[in-house]
């Protein structure tokens, strides 16, 4: 039986940030983050084992998370003032895809740090902007 404390976690900041609000948008981000995190763990195990990684599933899950994040942020902000964050999320997502295709575990782990920070930053920014933090 897997021990959750020992399983790799790739999106801790995003999941924690999304858990701080209890609205529909934050729940969508949290659900997508959990799905992407599981796909990342599966892909990571494949990379470490030297097997062909399940990269297509991971890329799809990351895209779903990025889309949920953009909806949560609101398209006006995402395409306007939030465009620097949008570019960071997209660049990190692309970097993860490259690492999977190249089978580079170190790059994969490093790219996930950037992706997690980028998405979590957007989530926290939205929550602060909209006053949606729960106490």
pLDDT, tens digit, 9 for 90 and up, residues 34-58: 999 999 999 998 888 887 766 889 9
pLDDT at 132: 56
- The yes-or-no verdict on residue 104 having pLDDT over 80 is yes
Distance CA 13, CA 118 (A): 9
Q: Please, what's the largest Cα pairwise distance for the chain? A: 47
Bigger pLDDT: 62 vs 135: 62
In a domain? residue 6: no
pTM of the model: 0.90
Task: Give how many domains the chain has, as a whole number.
Answer: 1
Residue 88's domain comprises 12-130
63-84: pLDDT as tens digits: 999 999 999 999 999 999 999 9
pLDDT value of position 5: 52
Question: Is 112 part of a structural domain of the chain?
Answer: yes
Q: Which two tokens stand for residue 122?
A: 């957007």
Question: Kind and range of the H or E element at 111?
Answer: helix 105-130
> Which pLDDT band holds residue 135 (cuts at 50, 70, 90)?
very low
Backbone angles phi, psi at 108, to 5 degrees: -60, -50
Q: So what's the pLDDT on residue 60?
A: 95
Q: Tell me how far apart the alpha carbons of residues 29 and 44 are, in angstroms, rounded to a whole number.
A: 22
Q: Please check whether residue 5 lies inside any domain of the structure.
A: no
pLDDT band for position 2 (cuts 50, 70, 90): very low
Asked if residue 92 is part of any domain, the answer here is: yes
């Amino acid at each position: 039986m897997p021990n959750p404390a020992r399983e790799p976690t790739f999106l801790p900041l995003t999941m924690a940030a999304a858990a701080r609000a209890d609205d529909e948008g934050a729940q969508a981000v949290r659900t997508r983050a959990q799905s992407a995190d599981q796909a990342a763990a599966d892909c990571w195990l494949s990379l470490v084992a030297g097997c062909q990684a399940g990269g297509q599933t991971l890329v799809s899950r990351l895209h779903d998370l990025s889309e949920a994040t953009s909806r949560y942020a609101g398209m006006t902000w995402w395409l306007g003032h939030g465009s620097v964050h949008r570019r960071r999320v997209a660049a990190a997502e692309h970097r993860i895809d490259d690492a999977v295709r190249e089978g580079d575990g170190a790059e994969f782990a490093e790219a996930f740090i950037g992706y997690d920070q980028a998405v979590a930053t957007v989530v926290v920014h939205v929550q602060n902007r909209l006053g949606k933090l729960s106490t």
